[in-house]
Structure formats: C-alpha cells, structure tokens
Amino acid sequence: MAVDLLLGLQWGDEGKGKIVDVLTKNYDIIARFQGGPNAGHTLEFDGIKHVLHTIPSGIFHKNAVNVVGNGVVIDPVIFKKELDALKEFKIDIKSKLLISRKAHLILPTHRLLDAASETAKGKAKIGSTLKGIGPTYMDKTGRNGMRVGDLEMDDWKEKYRALADKHEAMIDYYNVDIEYDLAELETDFFASVEELKQLTFIDSEEYLFQAQKSGKKILAEGAQGSLLDIDFGTYPFVTSSNTTAAGACTGLGVAPNQIGDVKGIFKAYTTRVGSGPFPTELFDEDGETMGRVGNEFGATTGRPRRCGWLDLVALKYAVQVNGVTQLMMMKADVLSGFESIKVCTAYNYKGEEITHLPYNIEAENVTPIYSEMKGWKEDLTKMSSAEELPEALKSYISFLEKELEVPITIVSVGPDRTQTILR
Ligand code: GDP
Ligand code: IMO
Ligand code: MG
C-alpha cells in the first residue's frame, strides 16, 4: 500500500491543515514528516477554528492515528499548549497520537539562539518565527541534538545541561542584547517534558512499515512550502528542513518506491511571511485587497503576509521537484471581485525571457511577465459543485492545468471543511 503525500507548493500557509482534515476520512494514519512549531495549520469545522503547530491535522477524526515523525522537531512547551487546547475535544491522545523516538527536541536555548542569530543579522534577518527551528536542526546535523527517545534514559537531564550550557556560551558569542531568564524557561520546559513523557513514543519507521504491510492507508503531511525548502527554496530565506517530497522519505523512513499520490497545494494567488525574494509581490491596492479578503495573517506569529499574483514559474518548479500528481487550489473565493486576474508565466531575467526558476530571483534580477485574464464577481463561498463555478474561474483553472500539466482535483472556496469542491 502506497503512502500519499500532501505538501505546500509555495511559501507555506497554502491551506494544508484544512485539506488534511478534509482527506483524513480516507486514511488510517496521518504522519507529519518535518518542521516544527514554526508551522500553523488552521482547521475550521462546526463553527470552531483550531490552529495546530506540531500535531498532525488528522487529530479530530476518530478513524485515524496521528504520527509525529522523526523528521519533526518538537518543543515540549508548545506541544503541551497544543495538548491543552485539545482537551475539550476528548480525544484519546494516548492511542491517537504517537511520537517518534527519533524526533529532535527544541530546547529553550534553541529559541534563544534563534533570537540571537536573527538580531545579529540585523536587516539581513530571515524573518524566522523564532521557534528555535534553525538551531535545533543545526544540532541534529551537527550530531549534538537531543531526541525524544533520550527522555526514556536516566541521564537525559545531564545531557540537557551540557547542551544548554554550550548554547549559553554561543548566545554570549553573538554579543547581542537579548534578555532572558533561563531558570524560568527551564522550569516550564521540565514541567512540559513530564507531560510529553505521558504520551506514546514509538519507533515510527517500524510502525509505518508494518502499517503499510497490513494495508493501512497513510497520508504524510508536510509543513511550510517548497520555496522554503532548505535545498530548493529561496536560500537563505528558507526554513531548515526538506519540505519537498523527498523530506517525507527521510522524515518518516518511507522508501521512495512506496510513495503514491503527491498532492500539491497552492493558493489561487501567492503569499509569503518573513523576508526574502517574492517576484510577483504587490505593493498596491490589489495586494492590500488579497490580504484583507484572504485574512492573510500568520497563524503562528500573527504577522501580516505579503501578497501577490500567482507565479507559474515558481509553481512549475515546485510541481517538478515534488513530482506532484494532483493539484489543489485554495482560496479561490478571495479572488472574487477582481476585474482581471494576472498570472506570471515567465520572468524577464537580466533582459532575457525565461520560464525556469533561476538561482537569483531578487527584484534586481527578475521582472515577472504576466498573462491577464477576465475576473469573476460571484461569491463562491456557498458553491458546492464544480459546475456552479463561474466561467471565468473555470477558464483560469483550465489555463493552470494546461500550463502545469497536472489536474486540479480540489478547489477550495472558504476556510470551512465543507467549503471544498471536488472535481
Ligand atoms: P497551512 O499552514 O498550509 O495549514 O495554512 P494556514 O492555516 O497557515 O493558512 C491558511 C489560512 O487560510 C487559514 O486561515 C485557513 O482557515 C484559510 N483557508 C483555507 N482554505 C481557504 C479557502 O479556500 N478560502 C479562504 N477564504 N480561506 C481559506
Ligand atoms: P506552515 O506549515 C509560512 C517562514 C518564516 C521565515 C522562514 C524561516 O504554516 O505553512 P523558521 O521559523 O523556520 O526559521 O522561519 O520560513 N516559515 C513559514 N512561513 N508558513 C509556515 O509554516 C512557515 N514556517 C516557517 O516566516 O520566513
Ligand atoms: Mg500556516
């Protein structure tokens, strides 16, 4: 039985949480494969809006088990808050949420190091969510990290102390003005670790292998988006993990030949939160309208998201790098009311027209070349079938399918679970 993937094709916040929640009824297991609490995945159903950071987005469904894979980094303090927010839903967390022993832990000092590094960078800052993601993955690849499985050992507090002491020396090295009370942060951390230890830790690669063998259906949930991938994103303005399809293999221990469908999610326009190049970014009324109508504020940090037209050069690249087999277009409703819709189909790159994503996409190198098409006025939010969609939107969808050579199987017309049109 193949493992399907669901991942973001832009700079994150495409609506992954919503679609995982919609698709969970078809799966036995939902498994997060990378990232950490830098993610904010929003789900809306029955009048409730819920934001998940580390916990997979299948958690509200009784039929599915949720796995936090080895590729994920876990902050026990944030994890505890997520668990607290789930209490009212009476979920059997011990059997429905399983955690890989190989997942790495975010320590309080990782968060401080993130802040020190960003402060030291000044204007060149990444715009990190400051959740300690970069420093934790640095310790992972530097072979210094602490893992969930370490918490089952007697000496984990000594290991913690040695690493935290080293981090304090590193924070001093940055020589920047950040204030903190480590003793207070540690009290919170140790209390949260005790709560984490009440959960079920597993050898997730073995669990997923056996599940596959016995015919269970698995959906791997990505965080962030392809353009934030550590290798293929707009480096250095990226996150510190592989957000693309290959990250699901390393982040879960699933062999490449076991990957089935690759479901790629994109917004009908583009957003980005944090720093870094964004060729189709708008600084005008259109961009302001997208942000306002689309309520484009970060689910984790509350920062306003930068908005712009759809960038097909970047989207094609993401489809290619991930081997996307199905596309899902989100937030089509936000574009209702625009007189015309623009799509970037090529770049003017240093005077030459190109259709691939070049090494440098900074504004001084790249000017987007747009195709313009007719907009639509209809409110889509109450529509429930593909036939009802306005002709101009149907043309937009056909145009994208032709350009990307992959079918669009879902059109999302609102944040709620039910506002999802299957094609
Ligand atoms: P994720 O990180 O990919 O899970 O996405 P986020 O939750 O960070 O951001 C997506 C935002 O758009 C959330 O506030 C969702 O509730 C909302 N959303 C998802 N799909 C739609 C849609 O089709 N239309 C509208 N208007 N909002 C949507
Ligand atoms: P979801 O899963 C949007 C961005 C940050 C910053 C850069 C690096 O909700 O789509 P980091 O905290 O990883 O060091 O930040 O990546 N970023 C996201 N942007 N959605 C996310 O996750 C993001 N996670 C990180 O804004 O630019
Ligand atoms: Mg998000």
Check residue 409 and report its DSSP letter: E
Return the ligand 1 atom nearest residue 42 CA.
7
pLDDT at 240 over 80: yes
Average pLDDT over residues 252-272: 98
Per-residue three-class SS string for 129-178? CCCCHHHHHHHHHCCCCCEHHHHHCCCHHHHHHHHHHHHHHHHHHHCCCC
What is the model's pLDDT at position 295? 96
pLDDT at residue 135 greater than cutoff 90: yes
Q: What is the pLDDT of residue 16?
A: 98
Catalytic residues: 13, 41, 140
Q: List, in order, residues 6 or more apart from 144 with CB less than 8 Å away.
A: 163, 166
The overall average pLDDT reported for the chain is 97
pLDDT of 1 strictly over 80: no
Residue ID of nearest Cα to ligand 2 atom 11 = 128
Closest CA to 226 of 139, 160, 304, 324: 324
Peptide bond connecting 279 to the previous residue in cis, omega within 30 degrees of 0: no
What mean pLDDT do residues 297-317 have?
Answer: 94
pLDDT of 141 strictly over 90: yes
Q: Is the pLDDT of residue 148 over 80?
A: yes
- Tell how far the Cα of 40 is from the centroid of ligand 3, in angstroms: 4
Dig out the tokens for 218 from the structure: 């698995």
Ligand 1: which residue has its CA nearest to atom 2? 13
Q: What pLDDT digit, counting tens, does each position of 268-278 carry?
A: 999 999 999 99
Residue 279 near ligand 2, beta carbon < 6 Å: no
Q: Could you identify the atom of ligand 1 that is nearest to the CA of residue 334? A: 26
Question: CB under 8 Å, gap of 24 or more: what pairs does 205-212 form?
Answer: 205/70, 205/100, 205/102, 205/252, 205/253, 205/254, 207/67, 207/98, 208/3, 208/29, 208/31, 208/67, 208/252, 208/253, 208/254, 209/253, 211/28, 211/29, 212/1, 212/3, 212/254, 212/258
For 419, the 3-state DSSP assignment is coil
Determine the atom of ligand 1 nearest the C-alpha atom of 51: 7
Q: What is the pLDDT of residue 301?
A: 87
Contact call for residues 222 and 11 (beta carbons, < 8 A): no
**The total number of residues written for the chain in this structure:** 423
E strands, 187-276, where? 200-202, 218-221, 259-267, 270-272
With a 6 A CB cut-off, is 8 part of the ligand 2 pocket?
yes
Answer whether 335 contacts ligand 2 (Cβ < 6 A): no
Q: Which residues sit with their C-beta closer than 6 Å to ligand 1?
A: 8, 12-18, 39-42, 44, 294, 299, 330-331, 333-334, 412-415
Helix (DSSP H) and strand (DSSP E) numbers for the chain: 12, 20
Structure tokens belonging to residue 314: 């970047």
Structure token pair of residue 106: 């975010």
Could you tell me which residues come within 8 angstroms of residue 336 by beta carbon, excluding any fewer than 6 positions away?
375, 376, 377, 378, 379, 380
Nearest ligand, measured from the Cα of 333: 1
Provide the residues around ligand 3 (an ion) whose CB is within 5 A.
13, 40, 299
Q: Ligand 1: which residue has its CA nearest to atom 14?
A: 42
Nearest CA to ligand 1 atom 9: 13
Ligand closest to CA 292? 1
**How would residue 300 be classed by pLDDT, with cut points 50, 70 and 90?**
confident
CB of 128 closer than 6 angstroms to any ligand 2 atom: yes
pLDDT-based confidence at residue 170 (cuts at 50, 70, 90): very high
Q: How many CB atoms lie within 10 A of CB 107?
A: 25
Ligand nearest to the CA of 129: 2
Note the pLDDT of residue 299: 84
d(CA 294, CA 415): 10
- Residue 157: is its pLDDT beyond 80? yes
**Ligand 2 pocket test, candidate residues 110, 128, 235, 240, most atoms within 8 A of CB:** 128
Query: In percent, how much of the chain has pLDDT > 70?
Result: 100
pLDDT > 90? residue 245: yes
For helices 245-252 and 204-213, angle between their N-to-C axes, nearest 10 degrees: 110
Q: How far is the CA of 417 from the centre of ligand 1 (A)?
A: 11
Residue ID of nearest Cα to ligand 2 atom 20:
12
Q: Is 247 annotated as a binding residue?
A: no
